Amino acid sequence: MKPGNDTQISEFLLLGFSETPELQPLIFGLFLSMYLITVLGNLLIILVVGSDSHLHTPMYFFLANLSFVDICFTSTTVPKMLVNIQTQSKVITYEDCITQMNFFIIFSGLDIYLLAVMAYDRFVAICHPLHYTVIMNPRLCGLLVLASWNTSVLHSLLQTSMVLQLSFCPSTEVEIPHFFCELNQMIQLACSDTFLNNLVMYLAVRLLAGGSLAGILYSYSKIVSSICRISSAQGKYKAFSTCASHLLVVSLFFCTSLGVYLSSAATQSSHSSAVASAMYTVVTPMLNPFIYSLRNRDLKVALKRIIGILLI
């Protein structure tokens, strides 16, 4: 392989969702609205959790971290797309593309790991309620978040360093039929041998994402089993309500992200993949604050208190 520094290419073209000029203002307005809602909604979650002492628990600690990651996750892709639409330019430099890909891998991985950590938290809370405060102590919560960051950063550095070893030929193939620099798209554009890149990418996805999903499914299988053993209907409802929001977010994230890869494999359409990718990179982070605030009584009470203070 030629090292990435020897490549003759200096920029790529992000084709986005549509090349039709009439649709660009609509796409700009739609994604700007979703981005602002995502940032403001998740910032509000962080503010509420940080300011209300009643929410200083492991569940809300992980939720605040998830909200922060969702803001960063969306910010790696949407602002550049909005700038390109506004300036009527599709150009992204080689360095910016590599940087965007690097941070996208970091924050997408963090989303997955934090969802797995939150599933474990709900498993301990429902299946071992008497030992919950002992098991989910502040030190363990901090270590779980730190481990998520370390794993995600190391994975991203591995993937990015391997892409940097690829060479890209200056031709029409530098067009990326996506709205951001996605790892798989970058590998497909390379002129050099990409066998090792594809192997590492697929192994990492199956090991890290697959392992996290397996942990989530195991946790919820135990949760469902514990809930079924509760005799009273009120007790079952209370137990289920403590994890309903998280289960809905998990379903939304994994269904949309899996749909991206299944649809792209079935249709082989890059534009269809770009549209599907918007579901888990933009729509899901936007919906998360609504799901948690609407399904969680403590969070709704805290939100009303904060809004009341701001309106005074």
pLDDT value at residue 5: 45
| 172 pLDDT higher than 60 | no
Report the range of poorest mean pLDDT among 96-110, 201-215, 216-230, 296-310: 296-310
Model pLDDT, residue 111: 94
φ, ψ for residue 230 (rounded to 5)? -75, 130
pLDDT at 119: 93
In this prediction, residues 72-79 reach a mean pLDDT of: 96
Proportion of the chain above pLDDT 90, given as a percent: 47
Alpha helices in the chain (DSSP H): 24-51, 58-75, 78-87, 94-127, 132-135, 138-164, 183-189, 195-204, 210-228, 233-241, 244-267, 270-278, 284-295, 297-311
Cβ atoms of residues 25 and 88 within 8 Å: no
Q: Are 186 and 160 in contact, with CB atoms under 8 Å apart? A: no
**Can you tell me the distance from the alpha carbon of 284 to that of 250, in angstroms, rounded to the nearest whole number?**
10
Q: What are the structural domains, with CATH classification, of the chain?
A: 4-311 (1.20.1070.10)
- Complete DSSP assignment for 65-81: HHHHHHHHHHHTTHHHH
Q: Is the pLDDT of residue 75 over 90?
A: yes
Strand partners, 14: 176
CB 117 within 8 A of CB 145: yes
Give residue-wise pLDDT tens across range 135-152.
999 999 999 999 999 999
What's residue 239's pLDDT? 72
Q: Which pLDDT band holds residue 2 (cuts at 50, 70, 90)? A: very low
Q: pLDDT, tens digit, for every residue of 19-36? A: 777 888 999 999 999 999
Tell me the whole-structure pTM to 2 decimals: 0.90
Query: Which helix (H) or strand (E) element contains residue 15?
Result: none
- Sheet holding 11-14: strands in order across? 91-93, 11-14, 175-176
How many residues appear in the chain?
Answer: 312
What was the pLDDT predicted at 216? Answer: 93
Give the CA count within 13 Å in the CB-facing half-sphere of 296: 25
